[in-house]
């Protein structure tokens, strides 16, 4: 990478970082906006359940459904060049 490209990449990274910092300032404001009516906060258990357990369960359900409902045949699967094809079962 020559100097011109490195300078361009650095300027782009710095500009992006600066814009992200400027845009996130309102997110950390301590004053409430007009019409803001926050509800009660989540407990630690509720937070972990909502943001950790629920996505893992959803991922597991989707992965399980994909594996169970997989209808592809072994002879249609792509093999690496070094691997040997399995003998097809005659069922």
- The 10s digit of each residue's pLDDT in 17-71 is 998 887 776 666 677 777 778 889 999 999 999 999 999 999 999 999 998 888 7
Task: Tell if the pTM clears 0.75, that is, is over it.
Answer: no
- Can you tell me the distance from the alpha carbon of 90 to that of 44, in angstroms, rounded to the nearest whole number? 54
Report the distance separating Cα 61 and Cα 65, nearest Å.
6
Contact 65, 55 (CB under 8 A): no
Given a cut of 60, is residue 89 above it in pLDDT?
no
pLDDT at 75: 77
Question: What is the phi/psi pair of residue 88, to 5°?
Answer: -75, 135
């Amino acid at each position: 990478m020559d100097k011109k490209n490195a300078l361009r990449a650095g300027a782009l990274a710095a500009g992006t970082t600066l814009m992200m910092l400027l845009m996130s300032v309102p997110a950390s404001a301590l004053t409430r906006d007009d019409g803001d009516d926050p509800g009660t906060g989540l407990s630690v258990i509720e937070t972990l359940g909502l943001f950790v357990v629920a996505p893992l369960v959803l991922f597991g359900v989707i992965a399980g459904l994909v594996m169970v409902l997989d209808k592809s045949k072994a002879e249609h699967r792509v093999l690496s060049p070094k691997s040997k094809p399995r003998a097809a079962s005659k069922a």
